[in-house]
């Protein structure tokens, strides 16, 4: 059931993903958190290499004592197929989906680098934020009430029901970091800030609003885990390449979740390196997102949705974006899963304290960045805090 490296070639041949006579090598490339990822490189250079991702019936890092439904691999593969339909440039090609082994085979991306790693090593974002914004815009428009008719949406909602992973998000992103909880940890320099955050009644109310948005808004198909570890970047034939991976948390949910997680992780990368070009790219992400919605708008399926509604909807998405960004900032310094961007600094204290403070401020007063969507005001808020 669980694939081992020695079985991968026989597996790929059995699935018809490579020619029956193919031979080659296999390396495990997953970072070992949730799932397993193998890259199979054929001896024959004419055969393209492939990657196989499998969800074991537990959380990979914790082993069989932490069971988790392997269905997540099929949710991920289905989401990738939908992403490929509307945002093919930013989506790895799926070659095979194996429903019995909860595995799928995809384009090998090992020539690319995980965005968080690239940023930690000093890379610039270049077109990355615009590409991510375009993917979110195109996929969410196409699966929203404006882009998809009610029957298509009903089917999409049903097939992307993802209660287990929703629980993970409710606990580790939208819950534990804001209370005393077993797996939380923080740098000693954050002690006072964390206490203030957890005692602030305004934080509780705004957190409740973000949790409610997560639980109740079925706006569009979202990735659900779109931080800088879910983006791979590099160059092919001299051109920049951006691929969004790992949508195992995909569901029909609030659009601001994806934008907020991405934006928060750009903010964290910017704080790490005091790089204002990273911050400027937040506007590129938002603008590309809006451009994709405006591009789809004339083709909307419901003629009773008017331009006034579109403006209102985009404002609402921005409001949610700031809320999800704020909780992500807090989670990465006071929750369970911290950001290597900060942890690998010689002293993570000052930068982490700054991120916590930003998260707290933004959560309790999202209009601190103005009452209209204004990503440049957010960039300004961050850059004047360091």
- How far apart (Å, rounded) are the C-alpha atoms in residues 130 and 136? 10
Residue 119 interacts with which of ligand ADP, Mg ion, none, CB < 5 to 8 Å by class: none
Q: Which residue is nearest to Mg ion (CB)?
A: 33
Which of Mg ion, ligand ADP, none does 109 bind, CB closer than 5 to 8 A by kind? ligand ADP
Say which residue the tokens 């993903």 belong to. 17
**Count of residues in contact with Mg ion, rule CB under 5 A:** 5
Instruction: Mark the segment that binds Mg ion (CB under 5 A) among 26-34, 55-63, 169-177, 305-313.
Output: 26-34
* Nearest distance from C-beta of residue 226 to Mg ion, angstroms: 10
Q: Which C-beta is closer to ligand ADP: that of 224 or that of 359?
A: 224
User: Residue 196 Cβ, how far from ligand ADP at the closest point, in Å?
Assistant: 32
Q: Which residues pair with 98 in a beta bridge?
A: 103
The strand pair at 94-98 and 220-222 is best described as unpaired
> What 3-state DSSP class applies to 99?
coil
By CB atoms closer than 10 A (0-12, 13-18, 19+), residue 374 is middle
Our finding on whether 248 is near Mg ion (CB under 5 A) is: yes
The residues, any chain, with a CB within 8 Å of residue 309's CB and separated by 6 or more, are none
User: CA-to-CA distance for 325 and 222, rounded, in angstroms?
Assistant: 15
Scan for tokens 């090609």, then name that residue.
Answer: 93
Binding site for ligand ADP (CB under 6 A): 29-31, 33-35, 37, 39, 51, 53, 92, 106-110, 114, 245-246, 248
Least distance (Å) from ligand ADP to the CB of residue 37?
A: 4
Between β-strands 113-114 and 231-236, what pairing exists: parallel, antiparallel or unpaired? Answer: antiparallel
Between CA 349 and CA 385 the distance in angstroms is: 15
For ligand ADP, give the closer residue by CB, 73 or 355.
73
Could you tell me the smallest distance in angstroms from the CB atom of residue 292 to Mg ion? 24
CB of 210 to ligand ADP, least distance (A): 23
Q: What does 108 bind: ligand ADP, Mg ion, none (CB cut-off 5 to 8 Å by kind)? A: ligand ADP
Min separation Cβ 2 and ligand ADP, Å: 14
Work out how close the CB of 183 gets to ligand ADP at its nearest, in angstroms, rounded to a whole number. Answer: 18
Report CA-CA distances (Å) from 177 to 180, 328, 338: 7, 9, 11
* Binding site partner of 51, from ligand ADP, Mg ion, none, Cβ cut-off 5-8 A by kind: ligand ADP
Q: Which is nearest to 300 in space by CA: 163, 168, 148?
A: 148
The interface partner of residue 92, options being Mg ion, ligand ADP, none and the CB cut-off 5 to 8 Å by kind, is ligand ADP
Q: Is 31 in the site for Mg ion (CB under 5 A)?
A: yes
DSSP string, 176-238: GGGS--TT----GGGHHHHHHHHH-HHHHHHHHHHHHHHHH---EEE-S--SGGGEEEEEETT
User: Which residue from 34, 210, 288, 378 is in contact with Mg ion, where contact means CB under 5 A?
Assistant: 34
State the residues that interact with Mg ion by CB under 5 A.
31, 33-34, 246, 248
């Amino acid at each position: 059931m669980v694939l081992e490296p020695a079985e991968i070639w026989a597996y790929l041949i059995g699935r018809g993903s490579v020619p029956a006579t193919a031979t080659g090598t296999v390396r495990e490339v997953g970072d070992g958190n949730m799932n397993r990822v193998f890259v199979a490189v054929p001896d024959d250079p004419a055969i393209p290499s492939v990657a196989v991702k499998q969800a074991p019936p537990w959380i990979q890092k914790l082993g069989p004592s932490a069971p988790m439904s392997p269905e997540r691999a099929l949710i991920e593969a289905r989401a990738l197929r939908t992403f490929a339909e509307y945002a093919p440039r930013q989506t790895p090609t799926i070659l095979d989906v194996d429903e019995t082994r909860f595995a799928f085979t995809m384009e090998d991306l090992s020539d690319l680098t995980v965005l968080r790693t690239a940023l930690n090593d000093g890379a610039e974002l270049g077109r990355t934020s615009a590409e991510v914004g375009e993917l979110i815009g195109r996929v969410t428009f196409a699966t929203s009430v404006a882009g998809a008719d009610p029957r298509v949406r009903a089917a999409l909602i049903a097939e992307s029901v993802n209660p287990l992973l929703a629980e993970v998000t409710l606990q580790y992103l939208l819950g534990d970091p804001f209370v005393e909880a077993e797996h939380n940890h923080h740098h000693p320099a954050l002690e006072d800030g964390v206490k203030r955050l957890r005692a602030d009644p305004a934080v509780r109310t705004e957190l409740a609003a973000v949790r409610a948005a997560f639980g109740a808004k079925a706006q569009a198909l979202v990735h659900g885990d779109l931080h800088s570890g879910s983006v791979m970047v590099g160059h092919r034939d001299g051109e920049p390449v951006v691929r969004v991976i790992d949508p195992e948390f995909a569901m029909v949910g609030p659009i601001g979740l994806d934008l907020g997680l991405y934006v928060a992780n750009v903010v964290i990368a910017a704080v790490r390196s005091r790089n204002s070009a990273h911050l400027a790219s937040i506007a590129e992400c938002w603008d590309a997102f809006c451009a994709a919605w405006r591009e789809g708008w004339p083709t909307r399926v419901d003629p009773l949705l008017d331009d006034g509604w579109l403006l209102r909807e985009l404002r609402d998405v921005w409001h949610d974006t700031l809320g999800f960004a704020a909780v992500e900032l807090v989670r990465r310094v006071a929750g369970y899963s911290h950001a290597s961007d900060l942890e690998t600094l010689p002293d993570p204290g000052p930068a982490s304290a700054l991120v916590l403070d930003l998260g707290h401020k933004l959560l309790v007063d999202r209009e601190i960045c103005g009452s209209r969507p204004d990503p440049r005001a957010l960039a300004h808020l961050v850059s004047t805090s360091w």
